[in-house]
């Protein structure tokens, strides 16, 4: 088997202290192979967001290590984490997180601007991505002029713009009706294959789990057997 893209060991994250102390992650350990789509499944409050944030370097654990594409995320300083988020890891959030005053195309182009890609190249890449998510006809529309499912497809295109190695999606279908949610998850599934990206998707929707290669179940901050 090839080396894992993601390797998590002994991860602990605690919030608060004393009687209000919450163990959001307790000794989480797992590997994700390159090209895998792994679902993180658990009810609300079980630690899914904490896990994704620590893996993506948005949050620091109290203990344990995370390695992504050969880089020990847990050993990076703030500059290193910023580079990781620009070049290696991309996020898709439940609430889409698009910039309201920018068009769909401009939103998708944001990570490419951050990388200083020349305009012509950026426009080519944006057009390709909008086509991949089936929104080429909506390039000029702002988020408020798009449906929820369309907004999430823009967010997915934006996440993939910089060709990340790892896509982290935190309940990406949580705000969508079940049919649209299924379509968005199927799109993620297809893009993981075609773009050669690895993905970790938090969800509590059992229908979506079927589209993953594998599910990690989390209860009270602890990964439990299937
Ligand atoms: P999920 O995404 O599965 O709903 P979270 O990772 O958001 O779970 O939360 C796990 C636990 O950690 C919950 O008990 C939650 O209340 C707690 N928690 C999350 N973030 C914070 C925070 N910033 N401060 C205190 N407690 C938090
Ligand atoms: Mg959450």
For residue 206, the model assigns a pLDDT of 81
Cα 52 to middle of ligand 1, angstroms: 12
Percent of the chain whose pLDDT exceeds 70: 99
Task: Give the Å distance between the CA of 172 and the centre of ligand 2.
Answer: 10
Place 204 in a pLDDT band, splitting at 50, 70 and 90: confident
The CA distance from 38 to 197, in Å, is 12
Q: What is the pLDDT of residues 144-162, one digit of tens each?
A: 999 999 999 999 999 999 8
Report pTM: 0.95
Within 8 A by CB and 6+ apart from 2, the residues are 33, 34
pLDDT of residue 134 exceeding 70, the answer is yes
Residues with CB under 5 A from ligand 2 (ion): 48-49
Atom 17 of ligand 1, residue of closest alpha carbon: 24
Task: Say what percent of the chain tops pLDDT 90.
Answer: 85
- Total length of the chain: 226
Least Cα distance to 85 among 71, 65, 96, 98 occurs for 71
**φ, ψ of residue 82 in degrees (nearest 5):** -65, -40
| d(CA 49, ligand 2 centre) in Å | 4
Examine the pLDDT at 136 and tell me if it is beyond 90: yes
Average pLDDT, the chain: 94
Residue spans of beta strands (DSSP E) within 17-165: 22-32, 37-41, 63-68, 71-72, 89-93
For residues 22, 200, 67, 10, the Cα torsion angle rounded to the nearest 10 degrees is 30
Q: Which residues contact 74 (CB under 8 A, 6 or more apart)?
A: 60, 61, 64, 65, 66
Give the distance between the most distant pair of CA atoms in the chain. 57
- The DSSP letter of residue 139 is T
Domain boundaries, the chain: 95-163
Which residues surround ligand 1 with Cβ inside 6 Å? 15-16, 22, 24, 42, 44-50
pLDDT for residue 96 is more than 70: yes
How far, in Å, from the CA of 131 to the mean position of ligand 1? 36
């Amino acid at each position: 088997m090839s080396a894992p893209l993601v390797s998590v060991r002994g991860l602990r994250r605690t919030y608060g202290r004393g009687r209000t102390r919450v163990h959001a992650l307790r000794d989480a350990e797992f590997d994700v192979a390159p090209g895998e789509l792994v679902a993180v499944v658990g009810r609300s409050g079980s630690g899914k967001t904490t896990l994704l944030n620590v893996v993506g370097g948005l949050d620091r654990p109290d203990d344990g290590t995370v390695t992504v594409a050969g880089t020990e995320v847990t050993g990076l300083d703030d500059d290193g984490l910023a580079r990781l988020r620009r070049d290696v890891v991309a996020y898709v959030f439940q609430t889409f997180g698009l910039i309201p005053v920018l068009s769909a195309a401009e939103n998708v182009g944001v990570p490419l601007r951050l990388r200083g890609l020349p305009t012509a190249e950026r426009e080519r890449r944006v057009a390709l991505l909008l086509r991949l998510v089936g929104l080429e006809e909506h390039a000029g529309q702002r988020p408020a002029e798009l449906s929820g499912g369309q907004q999430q497809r823009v967010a997915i295109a934006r996440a993939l713009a910089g060709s990340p190695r790892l896509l982290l999606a935190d309940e990406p279908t949580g705000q969508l009706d079940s049919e649209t949610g299924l379509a968005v998850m199927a799109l993620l599934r297809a893009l993981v294959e075609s773009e050669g990206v690895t993905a970790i998707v938090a969800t509590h929707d059992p229908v979506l789990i079927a589209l993953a290669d594998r599910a990690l179940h989390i209860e009270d901050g602890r990964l439990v057997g299937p």
